[in-house]
Chain A
């Protein structure tokens, strides 16, 4: 039996880099994520600095979780020196059947997106009491 009850695999790279349904000149980066397992499911945390709640789109479609965030244009005048550039975020993950897609919750705080992906009921471990006869 596999050690991890919920398996999460990333969709192939070419899929992740360019959203297929749009013809846009916008550039995307894939945000760094932490994924870890807790008793009730999976937690996904992604660094998306600069994204506001209304410009963040999370959808689950056909077992594919899509995180897409847009960064508003910078209104700071007279840029003198740049180490980073804010561009849009895009990343996709394939979800296993063991995730209850209807119960996914998302929270955005300080530029970090936290997604909670609860395990489906049947995937939860059950303790079976042993009757001593």
Chain B
């Protein structure tokens, strides 16, 4: 096989296609829709994530401020990472007329992310700090690249 598979590049291409498909939506909703900080409203996925990788790990960082740490649930099944939790709403006893502004979305959320590489699900670590959820996923031994020595005859 000559061609190499670039999973991230393909995800990126897919994302661009989806963005194009939803382009008219973002225009009709004005600049606020494009803000990276708008919490999960309408068709937005929540939480937003950044993915990065090194040789042995995939790192998923999710933007999830104000989530009750006890409610956060991180699960890995094969290569699918599922993050769920609940962002606290304003106190229920508040009267409608006492609310001056309500810009922070709240409620329960769940998001599944399909990773392009097999994960060693026993070794997954998650840390919630300053409103960011950092998940460290070691790649499975079978998915790691192997160095093959070339012997010169």
CB within 8 Å of B: which residues of A?
3-4, 8, 29, 31-38, 42, 45-52, 76-86, 110-112
- CB-based closest 10 A-B pairs: A111-B131, A111-B65, A49-B131, A32-B103, A84-B36, A49-B65, A112-B66, A35-B100, A83-B48, A80-B8
> CB < 8 Å: which of A3, A76, A83 contacts B52?
A76
29 contacts between A and B (CB under 8 A): A29-B36, A32-B38, A32-B103, A34-B102, A34-B103, A35-B99, A35-B100, A36-B98, A36-B99, A45-B66, A47-B39, A49-B65, A49-B132, A50-B131, A76-B50, A76-B52, A78-B52, A78-B54, A79-B50, A79-B52, A81-B8, A81-B11, A81-B12, A81-B15, A82-B51, A83-B49, A86-B63, A110-B65, A111-B131
Shortest Cβ gap from A73 to chain B (Å): 14
Shortest Cβ gap from A6 to chain B (Å): 9
Question: Chain B residues near A33 (CB, 8 Å)?
Answer: 101, 103-104
> CB < 8 Å: which of A47, A82, A83 contacts B65?
A47
Question: Chain B residues near A78 (CB, 8 Å)?
Answer: 52-54
Known A34-B99, A48-B65; contact A110-B52, beta-carbon cutoff 8 A: no
Chain B interface size range = 35 or more
Name 15 extra pairs, CB < 8 A, besides A77-B54, A81-B11. Answer: A32-B39, A34-B99, A36-B94, A36-B99, A37-B99, A45-B104, A46-B104, A47-B37, A49-B131, A51-B130, A80-B51, A80-B52, A84-B37, A111-B66, A112-B65
